[in-house]
Chains A and B, each alone.
Chain A
Amino acid sequence: MYTENRPDEVRWKNQLTAEFPAIPENEALARSLSAAFAAQADPTVEELTEIRTAVSEAVSNAVIHGYPQGNGQVRLELYLGEDGQLTIIVEDHGVGIEDVSLAREPLFTTGKDGERSGMGFTVMESFTDRLDVISELGKGTRVTMTKRLDLSYER
């Protein structure tokens, strides 16, 4: 699914793929993996925190909303480009999102217990440079985030 959106293979210099069960315990695992992977691009502490937070939101979404019945896999893909661009892909094969643009609205949530803030996508959006969400009902959701780490490269 969604293979067309992966970063151009020629242009990235390192890559990591991890697949794990959609359980809350793995949110911390996904954060740590992403931070460790991004560390090689010599990011600032601020950038690392933003990456950890954005990944945490995406993986939590997959765990909570992708698989409301439990049981499923989450796939995390990390790409580091030659130009210092980090691409993070979080994919699930869960229920999918009915209306992606509505889901991306701040404060929107389908959570019924009043404990979900509906700020997940907003946090991902503001902590990365670009957020793409592709989803199909009954098939799954794929979140792609890109973040430029080596800003000095532009000079």
Chain B
Amino acid sequence: MDESCVMTWTGNRLIARLSGEVDHHRASRLRDLLDREIRSAAEKHCLVDLIFDFEDVTFMDSSGIGVVMGRYNTICETGGTVYVTGCGPYVERILEMSGVFLITKKRKNVQEALDESEGRVKENHVH
């Protein structure tokens, strides 16, 4: 089983690419990984938006909801947005059930989320 979550920074945006099977077992490790990264970025005031990419997720149960929701709570404290991208039909079905898409933005892929996120950040600079 692939245990990885690849985290990449693009400016002030953190892209978390999940892969393989996301279950309760995996989810607790994912949370630790993500929280460590988010916490250290938050201390430096350099985290704006978080982009979750589910493109390479082969299985997910309801524990994936907690992974997104828990991080949402942190990100929205600083006024950031959480994007959810690359959802297959099952990932989407699970997330939809819990209303995750009411508080996050669902986009087709990482690029689409990045474009929107960057646009918003530029807009904020003008004000």
Contact = CB atoms under 8 A, between A and B. Distances in A.
Interface of A: 24-25, 27-28, 31, 49, 52-53, 56-57, 60, 63-64, 106-107, 114-117, 119-120, 122-123, 126
A123 B25 contact: no
Q: Is the interface of A mostly helix, strand, loop or mixed?
A: helix
A147 B21 CA distance: 23
The residue among A57, A63, A114, A119 with the most chain B CB atoms within 10 A of its own CB is A119
Contacts of B102: none
B101 interface: no
B70 A56 contact: no
B117 to A, nearest CB: 25
Contact of B25 (A27, A53, A106, A114): A27
Contacts of A123: 61-62, 94, 97
Interface residues of B, number: 23
A119 B98 contact: yes
Contacts of B25: 24-25, 27-28
27 contacts: A24-B23, A24-B24, A27-B23, A27-B24, A28-B1, A28-B21, A31-B59, A49-B90, A53-B90, A56-B59, A57-B61, A57-B62, A60-B23, A106-B98, A107-B98, A114-B69, A114-B70, A115-B31, A115-B69, A116-B66, A117-B62, A117-B65, A117-B98, A119-B62, A119-B65, A119-B94, A123-B61
Interface of B: 1, 21, 23-25, 27-28, 31, 59-63, 65-67, 69-70, 73, 90, 94, 97-98
Q: Is the interface of B mostly helix, strand, loop or mixed?
A: helix
A77 B31 CA distance: 31
A60 B61 contact: yes
Nearest to B25: A24
A120 B59 CA distance: 15
The residue among A56, A64, A106, A107 with the most chain B CB atoms within 10 A of its own CB is A56
Contacts of A52: 59
Nearest to A64: B24
A56 B24 CA distance: 8
B98 to A, nearest CB: 5
Contacts of B66: 114-117
A142 B94 CA distance: 23
The residue among A24, A27, A57, A117 with the most chain B CB atoms within 10 A of its own CB is A117
Contacts of A117: 62-63, 65-66, 69, 98
A82 to B, nearest CB: 29
B102 to A, nearest CB: 13
